Chains A and B, each alone.
Chain A
């Protein structure tokens, strides 16, 4: 096949100038794009207004489609569940029986825990749920792991708030628009979570790997105490994430780090819960509160007030 008609303008002087001008625009535009990326390296959440506006426009479409395909992602599980249904049923019955006694024990321990904390005058903020919403879309073509939540500032979801599902932690809110918010998922490499092993208190740091897994490193350099099957939960260190939210399960040990898979799969969860950022409050034993702070101020270490509901604007 011969070459298709080219955009070579021939002897037409006007067309030549037009072509030249279009290249000037293109090259300067490409440089402007580069400049925008450089601006974004210093301010990654800049231009959030533009994104939020477009997110508002695409929100109804995403929500509608999400409702149409809800349950579609678990279709393989539902088919597999038909096989071995009988034996599985018996095994699950036995498991339920053992779990029931464990639950009763756990409830008793929880009661005891509350009593002991009262004795120590340790006060914890309540659960701090802000809103429950659905994840409606994500950056499926990009290497960033950001999902879009169908709730925003109007519903009380602000940047920096942690997001969890019943199964475990999902991530934290990166930017928020009026009715949508962008959630930085656990598996993004920008998301760093202080964790601890659930059965003992060995602390570690979980970092996303962008490919659906996390790497967990021990705080003690040089050794890797984590073994496959270990469950990691948030430790609450440094605030933001509440303690004891399930995060991930270790699948493989890889030198001085361990590879883990998140317990909550954002593609499978039905709804997620936006929580208030966690602030650890410690009450010194026996000392009365030195000054009466106004109720609108952020909680001082001595005040037994829960995390102030009036100021949900933490630093991300």
Chain B
């Protein structure tokens, strides 16, 4: 479905322009309130995937520090130790900024590669933080989650692009 075209003279509201990415990332972080009693980490980190999608789609939209409050929100809902996503997501954002200075030409495959590295970093880092605070588990436990999060990234990026069209159209 293609969103409606722009109306002449119309201007999207400031909240819609600035707030859409943040609101969608927060909704993505709220995935664990679904009534699924999981025995293994099965749900993909949708908040992180949406953050990566928005960041790679619109580099000028989200500053690096925005990952702090969004990470805190994700931590409160995900059950990870508080501060885990705050730290990992912010480091990811800084890492993407650094990578962007090196890369001259960009295409879809590079975005996917960057997102894959970010997902691996955040999920293994999350596992490490969970182990620090008394949890357990090893890398094979999060491997399936990492794989399907990476495979899910193109779909999420596509939805972000669709939302982005709606965002800038009045």
A-B contacts counted at CB < 8 A amount to 208
Partner of B36, one of A44, A140, A187: A140
Asked if A210 and B86 sit within 8 Å, CB to CB, the answer is no
Asked if B71 and A33 sit within 8 Å, CB to CB, the answer is yes
Asked if B135 and A30 sit within 8 Å, CB to CB, the answer is no
Contacts of A44 in B (CB 8 A): 81, 133-134
**SS of A interface (majority):** mixed
Partner of A139, one of B32, B134, B145: B32
Contacts of B134 in A (CB 8 A): 41, 44, 190
List B residues 92-118 near A (Cβ within 8 Å): 93-94, 97, 100-101, 103-108
- Chain B residue nearest to A146 (CB atoms) is B79
Asked if A1 and B32 sit within 8 Å, CB to CB, the answer is no
Asked if B77 and A58 sit within 8 Å, CB to CB, the answer is yes
Asked if B81 and A210 sit within 8 Å, CB to CB, the answer is no
- Tell whether A50 pairs with B76 under 8 Å between CB atoms, given A30-B91, A210-B40: yes
**Closest-CB distance, B16 to chain A (whole angstroms):** 20
Asked if A140 and B94 sit within 8 Å, CB to CB, the answer is no
Chain A 248-286, CB-CB to B under 8 Å as 1, else 0, gives 000000000000000001110000000000000000000
Partner of A267, one of B36, B65, B130, B131: B36
Contacts of B103 in A (CB 8 A): 3
Q: Is the CB of B137 closer than 8 A to any CB of chain A?
A: yes
Asked if A29 and B65 sit within 8 Å, CB to CB, the answer is yes
Partner of A143, one of B30, B88, B100, B135: B135
Q: Is the CB of B90 closer than 8 A to any CB of chain A?
A: yes
Contacts of B91 in A (CB 8 A): 30
Contacts of A27 in B (CB 8 A): 90, 94
- Chain B residue nearest to A70 (CB atoms) is B35
**Closest-CB distance, B151 to chain A (whole angstroms):** 16
Chain A 39-70, CB-CB to B under 8 Å as 1, else 0, gives 11100101100110010001001100110010
- Chain A residue nearest to B100 (CB atoms) is A6
**Alpha-carbon separation in the docked complex, A204 to B133 (Å):** 25
List A residues 9-51 near B (Cβ within 8 Å): 22-23, 25-27, 29-41, 44, 46-47, 50-51
**Alpha-carbon separation in the docked complex, A31 to B142 (Å):** 25
Asked if B37 and A50 sit within 8 Å, CB to CB, the answer is no
**Closest-CB distance, B53 to chain A (whole angstroms):** 13
Assign chain A's interface to a size class: 35 or more
**Alpha-carbon separation in the docked complex, A189 to B41 (Å):** 14
Partner of B133, one of A3, A5, A41, A145: A41
Partner of A29, one of B46, B58, B90: B90
Asked if B30 and A141 sit within 8 Å, CB to CB, the answer is no
- Chain A residue nearest to B64 (CB atoms) is A26
Asked if A140 and B31 sit within 8 Å, CB to CB, the answer is yes
Partner of A138, one of B38, B83, B97: B38
Contacts of A143 in B (CB 8 A): 41, 126-127, 130-131, 135-137, 141-142
Chain B 115-126, CB-CB to A under 8 Å as 1, else 0, gives 000000000001
B residues within 8 Å of A by Cβ?
Answer: 30-46, 58-60, 63-65, 67-68, 71, 76-88, 90-91, 93-94, 97, 100-101, 103-108, 126-127, 129-137, 141-142, 145
| Chain A to chain B: the 10 pairs with minimum beta-carbon distance, closest first | A36-B83, A189-B136, A139-B79, A33-B87, A33-B86, A212-B39, A66-B35, A140-B43, A140-B38, A33-B83
